[in-house]
């Protein structure tokens, strides 16, 4: 594609969007789809025709609008009004009022703290474009960043921008993206690969899924820019098979991009070629670990191997391979388009930019949020999240899933960044955030995550394979009121063994939920062990076993 053609398509589509003074965007990401938003969309299309407004009003599907719990969500006239909980009964009124005042009873006030405290970078297009339309994406300056990098920047310049932006990997580890790109660029190999990690196995996390469902082109564009920077010609998106809608939209997006010469041979008539293929995971959490993911793509059993060598040097089929998370790639084009300083200007000293979280648990507004780094947990829980449901008392925030920890009330004013979360015994993780109230038992929470690690351990190394099983047994005994203080001591000892001797991150961090709950909620463990009670009333205490002496 030449620059003129490129601009023409974008302009034509921008004009087309303008030709419709009114538009209705219905969320068609999985959260709203599960609440039958597609029926609402059909009804709206029918009603627009019926009221003969189809010449001025466009109905389209769009990506995640945010407050998923109150779906189906509908956005009117590019965000002029947001309707929540829309049913087919509301449709005639919505269409009738499209060029008048919004339907009051459905409106989510735009100044609600849910939106006021957010900042959208990775999710910039979510809810504004139709994820199944390339033209929509082009109208939003899509692929402009790729075009500009290919025609005006050298690979090293691209890497410099990434380094200066301060972007860190969003898959959990927080490794500086620019540094990783530069390592892969320097690595010597006949062929190089770019892999997008969309395995997203943390229980309760749905950031990557939402991004792929809402804006697949921006992830592809980010991958292509990365491929140009590191010198790769083949890319893979490793996505879990449980995400059928995301897979469908990604497939569609790849096909569209290939047809328009935005992927494939000689992209935009430059010497640069880059193909992207999809590889489906079968839902093993450990396959999100980068070396296991590589083994899985190669067709082997998905088990990790010791690093070094890192994939940057020795990855897919032994070639240098860049592996980044979906959200990491989604941040690339905004950075290229707006410059490194724009991104580095958001966030804290060591954690730049924004972070997407899947907000869940006992709060009023659950959903997908994107906040600047450095925001306090209190703002997330009480302003964006709207506080605890049913007037209950806050107990803890769990971040980082099975590798993270539970953060208690006294840390609520702490800024959300990589270092602070680590200091509080948790991790940033990939973005799962579960808010718990007084009705949650922390022993039970630790047991839940240990059960997860036990069943998801690949079994390659003995500390994780046997250790997680042992720890789960001990936690089960504690929760039943059948353990002694000696077993608590064993538990702490096992935490130490796992942390230092396990092969991969799964085993090394499996102890975190236990360690952090023991650290902040030791009294709950003691209550189960010595007083044989569960303070939150969650665990079933069983009568004491008869002991033979």
Partner 1 sequence: MSASVKIKTLTIDDRHVGARENQTILEVARENGIEIPSLCYIDGLSAHGGCRLCLVEVTGIPQLLPACMTVVEERMEVSTQSERLRKLRKNILELYFSERNHVCSVCVSNGNCELQDMAGETGMDHVHFPYLYPDLGVDITHERFAMDDNRCIMCTRCVRVCDEIEGAHTLDIKDRGIETRIITDLDQNWGDSETCTLCGKCVHVCPTGALFEKGKSVGEMSKRRQFLPYLALMREEKR
Picked from ligand SF4, ligand FMN, partner 1, none, the partner binding residue 437 (CB below 5 to 8 A depending on kind) is none
**Closest distance of CB 16 from ligand SF4, Å:** 50
Stretch that binds ligand SF4, among 207-215, 242-250, 418-426, 455-463 (CB under 6 A): 455-463
Strands 367-372 and 354-361: antiparallel
Q: Contacting ligand SF4 (CB under 6 A), which of 457, 477, 516, 517?
A: 457
- How far is residue 431's CA from residue 453's CA, in Å, rounded to a whole number? 18
Picked from partner 1, ligand FMN, ligand SF4, none, the partner binding residue 500 (CB below 5 to 8 A depending on kind) is partner 1
The smaller minimum CB distance to partner 1, of residues 122 and 453, is found at: 453
**Closest distance of CB 338 from partner 1, Å:** 37
Torsion sign (Cα): 379, 385, 86, 43:
positive
DSSP 544: P
The smaller minimum CB distance to partner 1, of residues 7 and 465, is found at: 465
- How far is residue 81's CA from residue 84's CA, in Å, rounded to a whole number? 10
Cis peptide preceding 309, ω within 30 of 0: yes
Picked from partner 1, ligand SF4, ligand FMN, none, the partner binding residue 358 (CB below 5 to 8 A depending on kind) is none
What single string gives the DSSP state of each residue in 285-350?
GGGGSHHHHHHHHTTS------SSSPTTTS-GGGS-EEEEEHHHHHTHHHHHHH-HHHHHTSB-SS
Picked from partner 1, ligand SF4, ligand FMN, none, the partner binding residue 324 (CB below 5 to 8 A depending on kind) is ligand FMN
- Contacts to ligand FMN by CB under 6 A: 169-173, 175, 197, 199-201, 285-286, 288-290, 323-325, 328, 430, 504-506
DSSP 210: H
Stretch that binds partner 1, among 53-61, 141-149, 234-242, 463-471 (CB under 8 A): 463-471
The smaller minimum CB distance to partner 1, of residues 209 and 528, is found at: 528
- How far is residue 537's CA from residue 535's CA, in Å, rounded to a whole number? 5
Tokens of 223: 């991958």
Window 257-296: contact mask with ligand SF4 (x via CB under 6 A): -----------------------------x----------
Q: Contact 255/161 with Cβ under 8 angstroms?
A: no
DSSP 400: S
Stretch that binds partner 1, among 41-49, 381-389, 461-469, 518-526 (CB under 8 A): 461-469
Applying CB under 8 A, does 476 fall inside the site for partner 1? no
Picked from ligand FMN, ligand SF4, partner 1, none, the partner binding residue 173 (CB below 5 to 8 A depending on kind) is ligand FMN
- Distance, first Cα to last Cα, the chain: 83
Q: Contact 240/283 with Cβ under 8 angstroms?
A: yes
Stretch that binds partner 1, among 167-175, 380-388, 427-435, 501-509 (CB under 8 A): 501-509
Applying CB under 6 A, does 537 fall inside the site for ligand SF4? no
Q: Contact 27/73 with Cβ under 8 angstroms?
A: yes
Applying CB under 6 A, does 458 fall inside the site for ligand SF4? yes
Determine the angle formed by the axes of helices 522-529 and 462-479, rounding to 10 degrees.
60
Applying CB under 6 A, does 450 fall inside the site for ligand SF4? no
Longest Cα–Cα distance of the chain, Å, equals 88
Q: Contacting partner 1 (CB under 8 A), which of 42, 163, 501, 535?
A: 501
The smaller minimum CB distance to partner 1, of residues 109 and 459, is found at: 459
For tokens 């299309």, what's the residue? 45
Applying CB under 6 A, does 465 fall inside the site for ligand SF4? yes
Picked from ligand SF4, ligand FMN, partner 1, none, the partner binding residue 172 (CB below 5 to 8 A depending on kind) is ligand FMN
Q: Contacting partner 1 (CB under 8 A), which of 56, 112, 270, 470?
A: 470
Applying CB under 6 A, does 507 fall inside the site for ligand SF4? yes
**Closest distance of CB 305 from ligand SF4, Å:** 8
Q: If we measure between CA atoms, which residue out of 520, 230, 218, 278 comes closest to residue 395?
A: 520
- How far is residue 302's CA from residue 192's CA, in Å, rounded to a whole number? 21
Q: Contact 512/427 with Cβ under 8 angstroms?
A: yes
Cα–Cα distances in angstroms (integers) from residue 40 to residues 6, 8, 46, 247, 404, in the given order: 34, 33, 10, 23, 39
**Closest distance of CB 289 from partner 1, Å:** 13
Tokens of 358: 């899947």
Cis peptide preceding 337, ω within 30 of 0: no
Picked from ligand FMN, partner 1, ligand SF4, none, the partner binding residue 469 (CB below 5 to 8 A depending on kind) is partner 1
For residue 330, count CB atoms less than 10 angstroms from its CB and return exposed for 0-12, middle for 13-18, buried for 19 or more.
Answer: buried
Q: Contacting ligand SF4 (CB under 6 A), which of 504, 511, 515, 534?
A: 504
Stretch that binds ligand SF4, among 53-61, 227-235, 424-432, 456-464 (CB under 6 A): 456-464
Window 271-310: contact mask with partner 1 (x via CB under 8 A): -------------x-x--------------x---xx-x--
**Which residues contact partner 1 by CB under 8 A?**
284, 286, 301, 305-306, 308, 454-463, 465-470, 473, 490, 493-494, 497, 500-503
């Amino acid at each position: 594609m030449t620059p003129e053609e490129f601009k023409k398509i974008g302009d034509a589509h921008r004009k087309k969007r303008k030709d419709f003074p009114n538009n209705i965007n219905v969320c068609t990401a999985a959260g709203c789809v599960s609440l039958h938003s597609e029926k609402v969309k059909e009804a709206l299309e029918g009603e627009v025709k019926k009221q003969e407004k189809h010449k001025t009003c466009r109905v389209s599907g769009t990506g995640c609008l945010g407050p998923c719990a109150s779906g189906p969500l509908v956005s009117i006239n590019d965000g002029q009004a947001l309707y929540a909980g829309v049913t087919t009964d509301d449709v005639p009124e919505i269409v009738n009022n499209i060029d008048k005042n919004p339907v009051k009873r459905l409106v989510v006030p735009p100044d609600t703290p849910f939106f006021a405290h957010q900042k959208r970078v990775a999710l910039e297009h979510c809810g504004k474009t139709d994820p199944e339309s390339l033209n929509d994406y082009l109208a939003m300056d899509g692929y402009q960043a790729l075009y500009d990098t290919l025609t005006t920047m050298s690979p090293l310049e691209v890497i410099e921008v990434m380094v200066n932006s301060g972007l860190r990997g969003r898959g959990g580890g927080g490794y500086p993206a620019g540094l990783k790109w530069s390592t892969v660029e320097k690595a010597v190999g006949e062929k190089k690969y770019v892999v997008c990690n969309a395995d997203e196995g943390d229980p309760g996390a749905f950031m990557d899924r939402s991004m792929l469902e809402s804006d697949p082109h921006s992830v592809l564009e980010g991958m292509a820019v990365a491929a140009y920077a590191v010198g790769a010609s083949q890319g893979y998106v490793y996505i879990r098979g449980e995400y059928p809608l995301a897979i469908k939209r990604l497939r569609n997006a790849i096909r569209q991009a290939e047809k328009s010469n935005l992927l494939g041979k000689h992209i935009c008539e430059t010497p640069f070629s880059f193909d992207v293929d999809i590889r489906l995971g079968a839902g093993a959490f450990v396959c999100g670990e980068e070396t296991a993911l590589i083994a899985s793509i190669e067709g082997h059993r998905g088990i990790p191997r010791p690093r070094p060598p890192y994939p940057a040097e020795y990855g897919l089929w032994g070639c240098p391979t860049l592996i980044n998370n979906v959200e990491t790639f989604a941040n690339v084009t905004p950075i290229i388009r707006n410059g490194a300083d724009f991104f580095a200007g958001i966030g804290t000293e060591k954690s730049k930019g924004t972070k997407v979280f899947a907000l869940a648990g006992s709060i009023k507004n659950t959903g997908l949020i994107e906040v600047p780094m450095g925001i306090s947990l209190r703002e997330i829980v009480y302003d964006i999240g709207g506080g605890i449901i049913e007037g209950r008392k806050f107990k803890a925030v769990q971040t980082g899933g099975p590798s993270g920890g539970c953060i208690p009330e006294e840390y609520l004013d702490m800024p959300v960044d990589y270092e602070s979360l680590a200091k509080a015994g948790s991790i940033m993780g990939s973005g799962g955030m579960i808010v718990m109230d007084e009705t949650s038992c922390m022993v039970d929470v630790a047991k839940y995550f240990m059960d997860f690690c036990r069943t998801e351990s690949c079994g390659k190394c003995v500390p994780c394979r046997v250790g997680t099983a042992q720890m789960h047994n001990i936690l089960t005994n504690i929760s039943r009121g059948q353990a002694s203080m000696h077993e608590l001591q064993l538990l702490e000892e096992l935490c130490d063994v796992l942390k230092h001797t396990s092969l991969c991150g799964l085993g090394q961090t499996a102890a975190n939920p236990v360690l952090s709950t023991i650290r902040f909620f030791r009294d709950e463990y003691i209550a189960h062990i010595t007083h044989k009670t569960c303070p939150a009333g969650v665990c079933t205490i069983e009568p004491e076993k008869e002991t033979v002496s």
